């Protein structure tokens, strides 16, 4: 038995140990990661482990001793829509798995450069985080795209005589499964659990981190505090949002020629030059060769 067999055996044993620990059932403290009394974010503190041993000795949980790092990962999962229903422990486990996969790939290809090793291991460890950030960005774009239509529906429902929460639940009954529907369901669930409406809206801002959502919630909270009609406020906000969306689209369209300049210089202009000057160059070369 050589060193490579020992290394692979240890790796397989570690992965089996961690996987069993994450597959065992765990006690849940609830699905809302918020302190009901304050707006402080509260990360879950119930890691799954093999017969309770992994809670103290599992290598993947070593990273979670740093509270700031744990909270950052929890926020990353929330803003990406919590794919696969992962917890922070699940995320760290798969980060370690990809780290080991990267190490195995570098070992199989017999890489000896320390810089390549460090870069490969770092890329393997950060791979899932990059994926979650991309998923979170796509989710934020989807919410921004659906928000104007939701505001129109909310305005019409409130003008029909319902209050904000009743109108929200009525809209949720008709909405298709989307990222915006998930966020609205989270708001409705928090309010049912006793969270004040203002805090539930602030939690929505924290989860999405979108300027449109922030301005919308600020307007709703201010309308409730001042006692103004919410339907009138939402109607003016919907019109303002349409103007901002048109302005944003015009800005993107104005930047498009500048962004296309470099790809055209690299990929398009050389082909045009070859098509135009290629036959001329071949004609000159054939004439010179004939002389």
Residues of the chain above pLDDT 70, percent: 77
Instruction: Give the pLDDT score at 59.
Output: 52
Mean pLDDT calculated for residue range 80-109: 86
Q: How far apart are alpha carbons 32 and 177 in whole angstroms?
A: 20
DSSP conformation letters of 258-276 = HHHHHHIIIIIHHHHHHHH
Helix axes 230-263, 211-226, angle to 10 degrees: 170
Give the global pTM: 0.68
Residue 41: beta bridge partners? 34
Q: At 123, is the pLDDT very low, low, confident or very high (cuts 50, 70, 90)?
A: very high
- Mean pLDDT of all residues in 213-238: 85
User: Percentages helix, strand, coil for the chain, rounded to the nearest 5?
Assistant: 80, 0, 20
Residue 136: what are its φ and ψ, rounded to 5°? -65, -40
Residue 226 and residue 218 in contact, taking contact as beta carbons nearer than 8 Å: no
* pLDDT in the model for residue 20: 53
Task: Give me the residue spans of the domains in the chain.
Answer: 3-139, 142-245
Question: Do 197 and 223 contact (CB within 8 A), yes or no?
Answer: no
Task: Please indicate whether residue 185 or residue 256 has the higher confidence score (pLDDT).
Answer: 185
Does the domain formed by 142-245 have CATH 1.20.81? yes
More confident residue, 253 or 47: 253
The total of other beta-carbon atoms located within 10 Å of residue 125's CB is 18
**Residue 9: is its pLDDT beyond 80?**
no
Q: How far apart are CA 221 and CA 230, in angstroms?
A: 10
Does 133 score more than 50 pLDDT?
yes
């Amino acid at each position: 038995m050589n060193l490579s067999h020992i290394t692979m055996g240890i790796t397989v044993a570690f992965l089996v140990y961690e996987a069993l620990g994450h597959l065992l059932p765990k006690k849940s403290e609830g699905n809302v990661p918020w302190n009901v009394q304050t707006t402080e974010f509260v990360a879950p503190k119930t890691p799954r482990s093999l017969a309770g041993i992994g809670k103290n000795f599992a290598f993947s949980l070593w990273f979670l001793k740093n509270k700031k790092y744990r909270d950052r990962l929890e926020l990353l999962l929330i803003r990406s829509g919590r794919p696969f229903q992962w917890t922070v422990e699940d995320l760290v486990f798969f980060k370690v798995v990809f780290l080991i996969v990267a190490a195995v790939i570098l070992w199989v290809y017999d890489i000896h450069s320390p810089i390549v090793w460090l870069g490969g291991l770092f890329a393997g460890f950060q791979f899932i985080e990059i994926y979650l950030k991309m998923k979170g960005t796509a989710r934020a774009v989807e919410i921004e795209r659906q928000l104007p239509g939701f505001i129109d529906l909310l305005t019409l429902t409130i003008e029909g005589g319902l209050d904000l929460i009743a109108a929200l639940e009525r809209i949720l009954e008709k909405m298709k499964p989307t990222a915006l529907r998930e966020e609205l369901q989270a708001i409705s669930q928090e309010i049912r659990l006793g969270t004040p409406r203002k805090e539930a809206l602030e939690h929505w801002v924290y989860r999405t981190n979108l300027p449109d959502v922030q301005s919308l919630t600020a307007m709703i909270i201010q309308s409730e505090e001042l006692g103004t009609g919410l339907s009138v406020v939402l109607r003016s906000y919907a019109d303002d949002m349409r103007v901002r969306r048109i302005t944003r689209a015009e800005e993107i369209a104005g930047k498009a020629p500048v962004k296309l300049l470099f790809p055209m210089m690299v990929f398009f202009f050389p082909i045009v030059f070859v098509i135009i000057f290629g036959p001329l160059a071949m004609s000159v070369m054939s004439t010179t060769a004939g002389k």
